[in-house]
Amino acid sequence: MAHVLKTLPAPPSPRHPSPDGHADGVSNDEFRAAMSRLAAGVVLVTAREPALDPDDPTAPLGEDVGMTATAFLSVSLDPPLVMVSLREGSRMDDLLAEQPHWAVSVLSESQRHIAGRFAMKGRISDRLLFEDLPYVRGAASGAPLIGGALATLECRTEQTVAAGDHTLVIGRVLTASLPSGEGSPLTYFRGRYRQLG
């Protein structure tokens, strides 16, 4: 019996690298434009710097640090895990490399000013950013939990994963509360903060 060989179509030839160096041809602008069509919730990630001298209980603690994030999601129910994506080398990335406890405040649509304040480039000191905001300090993390947030979570880092120019931080949820039962979430879509409806 004669064997018949089928000729498979040749795989598409790879595109030439784009101007910003991606061999697969997807430019930064194309990628950003596509991902901007994905609506995301907006959170404030917070952490407190460790004491300047960990061996001296009377040494002053470092500053509170905050960062607006839209790349935040639930990972697991059992155990309760969440994940946040941090730009590699950012202040929060550097801090969470040494401080395992952090917190997340899920912002409401009325807290757009908080999101904008902690997303500014070349911003002022974090101490000044927190100065006029209502918050309580989390018992498990020591980090600020923003008053009026739709939900707050305190976390302990379980794992970090290097991913391109970001670090994925997976945290076990230690506490979860709903400080504000009212309001709708603040979302981010097509490069702008938005409200539902």
- Whether residue 26 lies inside any domain: the answer is no
Alpha-carbon span 44 to 146, nearest angstrom: 8
Answer yes or no: are the C-beta atoms of 109 and 183 closer than 8 Å: yes
Total of domains in the chain: 1
Query: Mind listing the pLDDT tens digit for each residue in 11-32?
Result: 554 555 545 555 567 888 887 7
Which pLDDT score, from 0 to 100, does residue 18 have?
A: 47
Asked whether residue 8 is domain-assigned, the answer is no
Residue 12, SS3 per DSSP: coil
Q: Is residue 18 part of a domain?
A: no
H or E stretch at 170: strand 166-177
Q: How do residues 22-59 score in pLDDT, each as one tens digit?
A: 556 788 888 778 876 666 789 999 999 987 777 777 77
* Residue 109 is assigned to a structural domain of this protein: yes
149/118 Cα distance (integer angstroms): 15
pTM for the full predicted model: 0.81
Q: Look up the CATH number of the domain holding residue 186.
A: 2.30.110.10
Q: Please give the residue range of the domain that contains residue 166.
A: 40-53+63-191
pLDDT tens sequence across 145-186: 999 999 999 999 999 999 999 999 999 999 999 987 678 999
In angstroms, the CA 95 to CA 101 distance is: 10
